[in-house]
Structure 1
Amino acid sequence: MVETVPGDAAGDARPPEPLRASEAVLAAEVARRYYLAGESKVEIAGATGISRFKVARLLEAARTAGIVRIEIVEPEGVDGELSARLRRAYGLRRCVVVDRGDDAPRLRAHVGAAGADLLVDLVGPDDVLGLPWARTVSAMLEARPTLPRVPVVQLSGSMVIPGETSPVDMVRVAAGLTGGEAHVFYAPLILDDAESAAAMRRQAAVAAAMAEVDRVSVAVVSIGAWRAGHSTIHDAVDPAVRTAVSDTGAVGEALGVFVDAEGRAVHPELVDRMVTIDAERLRAVPEVVALATGSTKAAAVRAFLLGGWVGSLVTDRSLATVLVRAAGA
């Protein structure tokens, strides 16, 4: 992309006057020092014997005359412009839109890899990392991010899904990458009733691991839409429970935290049957990174963005496009 610089006068479409040969030589030298050598305008002024104001004018003239052309090359597989639009539209701190992959497994792999890169930038030696079970989060760990030595905390109980890893497995893999301590517990995510879930949460091993959640400073979540095939929790409960959740206005969930279309937390009876982080504790995590793929999840992801639950988002181009349009950006 070549940057075009307008003339000095607003609305002046006349071509700029060509630089004299001596000015062109000086403009090229100033540009080399500024853009290639990284010298400041004050340093260039001192070295060339001209004022810093003339340095600024020469830099502008060099760009206008085509001596300097600025080209921005997007990183491979990332849509930088769409990432910036989506970040601004929802007030995110960070946003990465992946522009590759044409089926669900490949999208998850690419979004997971981009999430791993983002995690490397986010996690420092004083952080505590929190992880749930999710296919995209699993893909993130498969990218093997190089992380500092930090503790890793399990955020939710397990669901038995053939061929899939459990949150215990994922936390241990992550702790193996960091070299830090793994805080895990063995408990199902969903129990038959609220009393059983409360008893499970009181068990010493579960309570000790869940107490570590309050220390989590960076959490990674995957957002599910409350519809068939787009939330493992939705698919694991019977139709009556699905309807009861829908009746609360829930459009999506993350870690069993349910939100309505405006991003407000709702509390269906199902929540009381779960062993997982609750809405208040998720809200208290300083940095929540969401991984999401597929435009069919747009309403759910938008809800979490509107509600301010997420500080960083990694997603694919199809979902990002729908989200930007929905924001009118």
Structure 2
Amino acid sequence: MDAQLPSVPRNGSEWAQAFRQADKVEEFAITTLTGDNLRIHPGLYVSITPDGSRRYDASLHDAEQYAQVVATAVHAKYGKEEFHENIAADVLTKDLVPTIGPKELIRLTHETYQFADRISRKVPIVAFSPCQLSLPVIDDKTYYVRTTLAVKWASQPYTLTIASYMNHDVCSDQCKLDNEFDVNKEPIMRFCERCEIWFHTQCLSVSPATSPTLLDIKATRPDQPADDADADRLFASGEINFSGHDFEAWTTLLYLPIQRGHVDYPWLLSFELLLLAVRAHDRAWGCPSDVQEFVTKHLSMAPSLTHLTDKYCTIVLASKPSVFYWCPQCGGDI
């Protein structure tokens, strides 16, 4: 519709009144970044009667239409290809553009378009912080955004800047990659739980350790078996509620490094939230009674991938510790 309203309608009745007084619009335009007009045609609709009630008659073409309510909010995001030389307005943006991953998007902070109520294709997107434990399990089709970065319009027409809203530095003082999260130059990172810092693996020195340095366990934690055979003996006698198989699987998870990126999967695959939960549970209570159930509950799948939970449970349970590194801050093994 096309109308000048004295105020934003507050309920269905006011919306119906506004639509009755407005001129019907068959299409409308959205100005794109390059100044072109994108013509938008409304799709399906929801009708509102004069008393403000909704009438689900979108398929009844002969029904009198009081209002067509547009309901889908579209939040604009930009991919790496959008930031060409002419559009990057400042040095910071030019420096950050090479760090944008092939599946990464930068969120737009200042505009939301509401122009359609039909979604032809849903694009899975997750948000995470590059400097904190926050990335859910994603696949190679999932796009992501860094919560520390956002696009803003620059002072020049049709130019953009990438603004950083908080400290997003990673790695150490001796970082070889300018303390930036950059999947193009280093796809794998390690996290030190004691220092709470992510490090690029190429900036680390290899450690001979076969397990990571863990935080101290709580004094109230129950005693744990010496190995899986001891666990089977204690389980058979009723002294513990988990088997040797569960204890072996739990120990494997406990000794996995917290890592972002995976050598066998060429995307930003990480089980960081699961492994954080494993370590916290082990410090307080030790091995759970059902490790498979614990993994399923704490795997932290991206919302679009919950149907693949079993697949990624199998992947993480089959993982084996590999190379460990010294943390340049505290000297622990990560």
TM-score with structure 1 setting the length: 0.26
Bigger fraction of residues in helix:
1
Bigger fraction of residues in strand:
2
Which structure has more relative contact order (CA 8 Å, sep 6+)? It is 1
